[in-house]
Amino acid sequence: MDKRVVLSGIITSLLIVSLVAYSLPAFAQGSNTVSGKPEVISASGIVPGKDLIVHIWAVVPPGKDKNEVAVAALAHQGARPLTGNEYTTIALRWDQFSDSNNSNDSVTQYYNSANVPTTVGVNGLTALQHTQKSWTDVTTSKYTINDGGSTSRCPSLVKECGGQTFDGFNDVGWLSLSSSTTLGVTWTGTNIDEADMALNTNFNWSTTGGNYDVETVFLHENGHVAGLGHSADINAIMYPSYQKINRVLQTDDINGITFLYPTSATSVTVDQINYSVKQKSLNTTVHVKAVASGNSISGASVTIQLNKGGVPYGGPTTGITDTNGNVKFVLRNAPSGTYTTAVKTISGSNILWDGNYPTTPFIK
């Protein structure tokens, strides 16, 4: 809940990965590439005096200024534009991913199919589920969002549901939104972790390759649900303008979700150091495994220092563990004596060495 403290330390990186758009003059930027369609922009606002942020998609009618349209669309929601500084200090960040309990590391989202356009039908839920999977499947992030099933609740934070109350549920629904230019909205709390979404039934929606593509918009909105802001990267899902059908997270989106919710590092240890002699060579094999699961760790970079008679023999050497978690070091023309191995470093993607290794000597 303590977003101000949690987020204060990550402002610099957030600005780089996902919030650059806010340092640009407009909270709505970008050009339209959907031929024959008016430009669609996304903008974020805050309701003064309330614990609420809203993200909207708004259609810019021909000849209209997109910033004016965004301001007007936000005003329809009772909100004013959000500045970059405000976003980085008050944005939603789900606390369950940073507490000491791993069993609660997920967000649950429910779907209300009432009022779904006939052109969308049951495919609306499928599209939403795809986007939940897309954000969940980022391997470098532990962010997880699950389908909680169907609901008849009106997404409580959405203005058109009345009252804008926190009901403890993250709901998605189809509503006739009051602004004729607003394609969809996502509301989130700033202190209370809750996110509700609605798409406007007054537009033409498609799940079969036409615009506006439901999954593309759900994917962007579920980025806001995760706590991401807009990106200046025109390829990113979190770019604040509907460009075309795009149902795949891009590098910038992956960087953003990874920054907010990085996967916890796996604790690894060295459980075995084996020696063998082949002709004049001394082979030293180091095995790396995960402490908790016992699984062998491949691709880890291991640096050792071989000692003979208690003093370093040669310099440190580095190798990479194979698929069995082993890395072999070969000392050619090894003289007779008592050898020990000091493991200096173990590094690799998302692993953290516990510093332990066996110290049993080997006599050649």
How far apart are CB 81 and Zn ion at their closest, in Å? 13
Select the residue whose beta carbon is closest to Zn ion and give its number. Answer: 42
Select the residue whose beta carbon is closest to Ca ion and give its number. Answer: 156
Q: Which of 51, 86, 167, 271 binds Ca ion (CB under 5 A)?
A: 167
How far apart are CB 221 and Ca ion at their closest, in Å? 14
Q: Which of 18, 109, 144, 156 binds Ca ion (CB under 5 A)?
A: 156
Q: Cis link prior to 212 (omega < 30° from 0)? A: yes
* Percent helix, strand and coil across the chain, each to the nearest 5: 20, 30, 45
C-alpha span between 305 and 23 (Å, rounded): 50
Q: Which of 169, 259, 313, 362 binds Ca ion (CB under 5 A)?
A: 169
| Minimum CB distance to Zn ion smaller for 120 or for 197 | 197
C-alpha span between 124 and 214 (Å, rounded): 7
Q: Name residues whose C-beta falls within 8 Å of residue 175's C-beta, 6 or more positions apart in sequence.
A: 115, 154, 155, 158, 160, 161, 198, 199, 200, 201
C-alpha span between 271 and 290 (Å, rounded): 10
308 binds Zn ion per the rule CB under 5 A: no
Beta bridge partners of 45: 54, 81
66 binds Zn ion per the rule CB under 5 A: no
| Minimum CB distance to Zn ion smaller for 55 or for 287 | 55
| Minimum CB distance to Ca ion smaller for 101 or for 279 | 101
Asked whether 220 and 237 are in contact (CB, 8 A), the reply is yes
Asked whether 245 and 209 are in contact (CB, 8 A), the reply is yes
- Choose the one of Zn ion, Ca ion, none that binds residue 42, judging by a C-beta under 5 to 8 angstroms depending on kind: Zn ion
Residues within window 6-45 making contact with Zn ion, judged by CB under 5 A? 42
| Minimum CB distance to Zn ion smaller for 82 or for 288 | 82
Q: Which of 7, 22, 52, 55 binds Zn ion (CB under 5 A)?
A: 55
Asked whether 271 and 358 are in contact (CB, 8 A), the reply is yes
Q: Which of 13, 15, 26, 105 binds Ca ion (CB under 5 A)?
A: 105
CB atoms within 10 A of CB 237: 27
State the residues that interact with Zn ion by CB under 5 A: 42, 55
State the residues that interact with Ca ion by CB under 5 A: 96, 99, 101, 104-105, 156, 167, 169, 196
